Amino acid sequence: MKKAMEKIKQVIFGHVGICILLLCAAPLLFIGHGLFEEIEVEQAPPDSEVKDLIVVGFSQLGSESGWRTAHTLSIQDALTKDAGYFLIFSNARQIQENQIKAIRSFISQRVDYIVFAPVIEDGWDTVLQEAKDAGIPVIIIDRMVNVADSSLYTTWIGTDAWKEGEKAGKWLERHLREKNRQSEDINIVVLQGTIGSTAQIGRTEGFEEVASRHDNWHILESATAEFTAARGKEVMGEMLRRYPNIDVLVSQNDDMTMGAVEAMQEAGVSFGEHGQVAVISFDAIRDALEMVDEGLINVDIECNPVQGAYIDMIIQKLENGEPVEKSYVVEENIFTRENVAEFLEGRTY
């Protein structure tokens, strides 16, 4: 318990610390360039330096969560110079405009491939048409895009967010049966991720599908906490003030869960295996799995960030003129106190 709580503090303090730093730095930025300065996109070196390498422009949507850090690392580890790649990495800081700017820069640099993890699903038709017109294959990773013409991208690699949401609902059905509470009124609150993102849409709809079969499940409120620990703490704190009788928290990623756990502690509300609020989380990063092991999180629905090797495999196929699938869905598990120990050992993220 102590160990896990220390980690939560580090995560939250990390974010708060960064916020304080940013607040102090804001006036300086404001004077110079304006607060919401656009990102700069790195340029590839001259052709002579990369002539034997495959140049890949990768627009990552942000660095909002522990999951995202593992996802970025997985891609950087797969697309190395030793493996034959030159990777141009761009972090969009959760702003769609930044991703569009990065993709346009990749097009004008005439990269060999564009890889991108879209922050939300809508709004990509124009820029992807530009990539198609330039003849650059686009590999979408993690979240999905909603485009009228699916020929605008070559393939998508990701996880089944709808299934993850459904797994959460099915776990809750089992849990209530085991506690003999299946006929009681059950009050649920949901911390959602970035609105309009695949992970938020899928996890919400998959869970709601199961919930709609139970008249006694009451979703008191669903609100976004942007997939971050700091917002998770804030939004859960507000919910705890509004609703004294929460039975279940569904938190759409581990970072928000860590924030919510702090809020519950501060409010004096018990949670986890032996508490008032059953906690359902998503991602299954190492710090959260330790909390599952300690009974602070009841269940963690895995979302697998190790996706880099898929990109390498797909690019190699395309380079050899072989066909690729339109989608690749990464395998995932679900973790409770019963099975978590064996997975914790090998967890690197």
When computed from its CA atoms, the radius of gyration of the chain, rounded to whole angstroms, is 21
CB of 271 to ligand GYE, least distance (A): 20
Is the Cβ–Cβ distance between 281 and 300 less than 8 Å?
yes
Q: For residue 281, give the 3-state DSSP assignment.
A: strand
Q: For residue 115, give the 3-state DSSP assignment.
A: strand
When the beta carbons of 44 and 144 are compared against ligand GYE, the nearer one is 144
CB of 288 to ligand GYE, least distance (A): 10
> Sheet holding 85-91: strands in order across?
85-91, 54-60, 113-116, 138-142, 155-158, 327-329
Q: Which of 208, 158, 214 is nearest to 183 (CA)?
A: 214
Strands (E), the chain: 54-60, 85-91, 113-116, 138-142, 155-158, 186-192, 217-224, 248-251, 278-283, 299-302, 327-329, 334-335
Token pair 């602070």: residue: 296
Six token digits for residue 121: 């699903």
CB of 342 to ligand GYE, least distance (A): 23
CB of 270 to ligand GYE, least distance (A): 25
When the beta carbons of 282 and 335 are compared against ligand GYE, the nearer one is 282
CB of 236 to ligand GYE, least distance (A): 16
Is the Cβ–Cβ distance between 113 and 139 less than 8 Å?
yes
CB of 157 to ligand GYE, least distance (A): 12
The DSSP string of 126-195 is HHHHHHHHTT--EEEEES----S-GGGSSEEEE--HHHHHHHHHHHHHHHHHHTT-TTS-EEEEEEE-ST
CB of 64 to ligand GYE, least distance (A): 5
When the beta carbons of 186 and 297 are compared against ligand GYE, the nearer one is 297
Applying CB under 6 A, the residues found at the interface with ligand GYE are: 64-65, 67-68, 142-143, 199, 227, 253, 282-283, 303
Alpha-carbon distance values, 293 to 65, 298, 300, 338 (Å): 21, 9, 11, 8
Cα separation of the two ends of the chain: 20
When the beta carbons of 15 and 68 are compared against ligand GYE, the nearer one is 68
